Chain A
Amino acid sequence: MTLLKEKDYGTPLSASQKQVALEIDGRKVSVPEGTSVMRAAFEVGIDIPKLCATDSLKPFGSCRLCVVEVEGRNGTPGSCHTEVAAGMKVTTHSERLARLRSNLMELYLSDHPADCPACAMGECEIKELAKKIGVKANRYGLEGKNHLHAAKDESNPYFTFDPAQCIVCSRCVRACEEVQGTFALTVEGRGFDSVIAASQNDSFLKSECVSCGACVQACPTGALLEKSTIEHGAGDQTVLTTCAYCGVGCSFKAEVKAKQVVRMVPFKDGKANAGHSCVKGRFAWGYATHPDRVRSPMLRKKITDPWREVSWDEALKYAAGEFKRLQEKYGRNAIGGIASARCTIEETFLVQKMVRACFGNNNIDNCARVCHSPTGYGLKATLGTSAGTQDFASVDHADVIMVVGSNPPEAHPVFASRMKRRLRAGAKLIVIDPRKTGMVRSPHIEADYHLALKPGTNVAVLDAMAHVIVTEGLADEDFIKNRCDADGYALWREFISDKRNSPEALEERSGVPAEDIRGAARLYAAAGNVAIYYGLGVSEHSQGSVGVMCLANLAMATGNLGREGVGVSPLRGQNNVQGSCDMGCFPHELPGYRHVSDDAARAVFEKEWGVTLDKEPGLRIPNMIDTAVMGQFKGLYIQGEDLAQSDPDIQYEAAGLKAMEFVVVHDLFMNETVKYAHVFLPGASFLEKDGCFINAERRINRIRKAVEPLGGKADWEGTMGLAKAMGYDMHYNHPSEILDEIARTTPSFAGVSYEKLDELGGIQWPCNAAAPAGTPVMHVDHIVRNPGMFTLTEYVPTEEKTTPKFPLLLTTGRILSQYNVGTQTRRTENTIWHHEDVLEIHPHDAEQRGIREGDLVSLQSRKGDTHLHAVLSERVQPGVVYTTFHFAESGANVVTTEYSDWATECPEYKVTAVEVKLTHKLSNWQEERSKDHG
């Protein structure tokens, strides 16, 4: 497609259902009440000059170029901030208006570089607008007072701020406030001395700016411009695609020039992001062409041998031979595969198909095992479907938002901005998190309740909230009676009403004052619409699945399901982790969450694939490692997953990988797991292939190929080649054929095709005959499980307890600029904000240990130790320390333990008993790793 530029209607769309009829330039127009005259004019193709107005922001009325005449009214009102009225007659172009606009434009030109580079490359609207208005020169010249020699701010790695090109229209300031919600920018000074300033006149880099790019997007001139655009110019072709970072799934326009991506611009019509972005999706895509990308398959017979570049054919034949040899020697179940939540649904579907149809077993898993597998289990058990209940837009209708174990401003920033908009508009907020995250207090937002619980006590706190709701008569009995299992409710009601589940009984365990829990529960139960959003702070616990079931119980008990503004929504970590679960990349489930023991479901795939399928569950990732350590699991194909960095207790993980006789890693980079691999297959980035990702809303979003795969094959082609080399020929000419197979075999995807996705944009499953355009909100007429099932959620304290030797609790998480194990973001300029993982420790705990800011400290658990620099922070409570896991050398997972969720074996990353001490050197593990890496 040629370069796509969305139409800008100047002001936001009005949500009103009431239509208003008026006349603009003699044309009859009908628009929703509340629409601006400017937007009404643009809707019918009448162009009004503008600079300070854009349809992502509220009208501001500063540039005055959009003035119009309204019959019967004095003066020339700005059309951006004049709302339509019935019978109004508007004139947008007249001699008087032309004169006014021309005078204004001359003034703008008198302080605009004559040789504006951005104007030349089409990135600045000034000269083009002047031409439209008919201004060829300005009578004031450039000699008067101006800003033409103001210094450029080039501190941000991704964009520059050039005051010489700035017209102080405040679009950037307003974008930072209204779209992003950071309030980092302001207009400093008065009158002609007004300038845009970041924070307290800091550089952009040192300011509170989070580099989301909203200001760059909003800027009508070249004042704020991407460095990549300055270097390469704008693209000449647009490829519509989806971001490959978090589970928000933002739509982007990849701009391509000379077979190279030169810019990523958030797509205004993107259903998940509505034109917004974060620093990762907008700017941190340079990893895709980083020199570290491996461009050829590699092979070695022993993990101590050097790597040898080989052809795809040789690598696949060798891998196939080894997998067959292992199965002949050790049995069918001695090998398995791991699908990647980073890859497309077509690719994850193919990996599970290869494992099931070609390997002949169910030893298939994906990274949800270590993040949201409890979501799948918990929501299925209670509500009947293993996914979130809402679309993101639903939050606009929430009266109370409850954020549990999730830090959206860091981990799901684009959705966080949307959530914050709703909070600034008056919604109440409950945060349940051991840390003072960015949700607890930020500009113009403060949580009504922050239940700062001790790590590992989610279930205690959520049970206590439910106890209050039930015992104080706040439950929605009508909803329960109509939609939930009566026996299940009676059992749960009795269980939860027991005094052992009261806030007072659990106060000491949880560390949360009983009155705060009672207050939060009352707020939750009394509000009209309550929406729960949760993250890994719920799932990554020994009771992760129970925590999820607690949330579903709360929603059912208060009738907060089945409409906009309510629900239980997991904020999923990886771009396609929802999709890889949907595609059956689990050892117990076929695509569409049907258990492998389901004869009818197996029959569908047996017919399609021409094989007999195993009806017994296979090995989960931790089971594969256990079984390998025990000498019975011998070979593994790993697509886009770095087990040796991301999984817990990594010394045990490493022992398991080392015990295998043959490991294939299919990835973009030589990650930590490659140390144990025998064949490396070069992966393709999201810019190099076609397919779909499914985000946290269940939205199936297309990704489209912008450039050729650097390694020669898209990942689906690699998997297809491996299966063929093993003797199972699954041939597809294009990923669309794989999606067709998914639609044929999986009822919730029955209505999905590339054609429909192209036509409708992202579609939320289920999409079938009953819901041909997809399902934004689940459980509308009834709970999918029908009836909904309350489950008993006894609080079982984790066995990972503090002791005199390990008196602190470590919890782990993410930071905005880095992404998971950092494979991608560490290879971008994002390292300027976060170049190492650090340990947050409360000043009180630090003082007791003689630790000062920046000191190197040892972090030791019963599993191992690693050394990090300390940051003193009151974000963590006394007794709790916190770190991230973005850098392999930090070794956060050397410390985490083998404990996991009882139901899904999702690791208990969020609770590890540790001690922190001053040190002056790296840990033994770090020294050894350092030697390995030269």
Chain B
Amino acid sequence: MSSRAVMSEDRMLHKANQIALNFAPYPQAQAVEKIADHLRKFWTPPMREQLTAYVNSGREGLHALAVEAVKNL
């Protein structure tokens, strides 16, 4: 975990996955954009950075739509 982590990984994954699950019924492109938009609007930059770092590390555990959304941040 990064020294600049602002929440535990478990909490981060839970929050991000819940967001993804709730946008999942939209067509994929819309869902990805809505998730990214949500993260931009409601997550602080350090929270987004922590999530991005997790995705960049290639580790599993994050909903596929959230992974795509992070790439669009």
Contacts and interface: CB of A to CB of B under 8 A. Distances in A.
Contact of B6 (A542, A630, A899, A902): A630
A623 B6 contact: yes
B59 interface: no
A491 B31 CA distance: 13
B22 A495 contact: no
Contacts of B41: 588, 595, 597, 617
| Interface size bracket, B side | 20 to 34
A627 interface: yes
7 contacts: A587-B44, A617-B42, A626-B8, A632-B4, A794-B25, A899-B14, A902-B18
Given A627-B6, A632-B6, A902-B15, A796 B45 contact: no
In the complex, which of the residues A543, A597, A616, A629 has the most CB atoms of chain B within 10 Å of its own CB atom? Answer: A616
A629 B14 CA distance: 17
Contacts of A495: 25
Given A495-B25, A623-B44, A903 B6 contact: no
A329 B40 CA distance: 27
Main secondary structure of the interface of B (DSSP, over half): helix
Given A792-B26, A794-B21, 13 more contacts: A333-B44, A333-B46, A491-B26, A495-B25, A587-B44, A588-B42, A616-B45, A623-B44, A626-B7, A630-B8, A903-B22, A903-B38, A905-B15
A836 interface: no
Interface string A781-799: 0000000000010101001
Contacts of A333: 44, 46
Q: Which 8 A-B pairs have the closest CB atoms?
A: A902-B18, A626-B7, A794-B25, A792-B25, A627-B6, A796-B21, A902-B22, A902-B19
B54 to A, nearest CB: 15
A250 B47 CA distance: 41
Interface in A532-552: 542-543, 546
B8 A903 contact: no
A169 interface: no
Interface string B17-55: 011011011110000000000101111111100000000
A780 B40 CA distance: 32
Majority DSSP secondary structure for residues of A touching B: loop
A904 B26 CA distance: 20
A2 to B, nearest CB: 52
A546 B19 CA distance: 11
Contacts of A619: 44
A587 B45 CA distance: 12
B5 interface: yes
B33 to A, nearest CB: 14
A542 B5 CA distance: 24
B20 to A, nearest CB: 9
Contacts of A904: 42
A542 B18 contact: yes
Nearest to B18: A902
Interface string A596-618: 01000000000000000000111
A623 B7 CA distance: 8
Interface in A371-388: none
Contact of B11 (A491, A588, A792, A898): A898
Contacts of B44: 333, 587, 616-619, 623
Contact of B43 (A546, A617, A630, A796): A617
Contacts of A632: 4, 6, 46
**A546, A595, A626 pick with most chain B CB within 10 angstroms:** A626
A794 B14 CA distance: 18
Given A616-B44, A623-B44, A905-B15, A630 B25 contact: no
Given A630-B7, A903-B38, A546 B47 contact: no
A794 B5 contact: no
A617 B27 CA distance: 27
Contacts of B8: 626, 629-630
A623 B45 contact: no
A623 B11 CA distance: 10
Given A630-B6, A632-B4, A796 B22 contact: yes
Contacts of B26: 491, 792
A10 to B, nearest CB: 56
Contact of B5 (A595, A616, A617, A630): A630
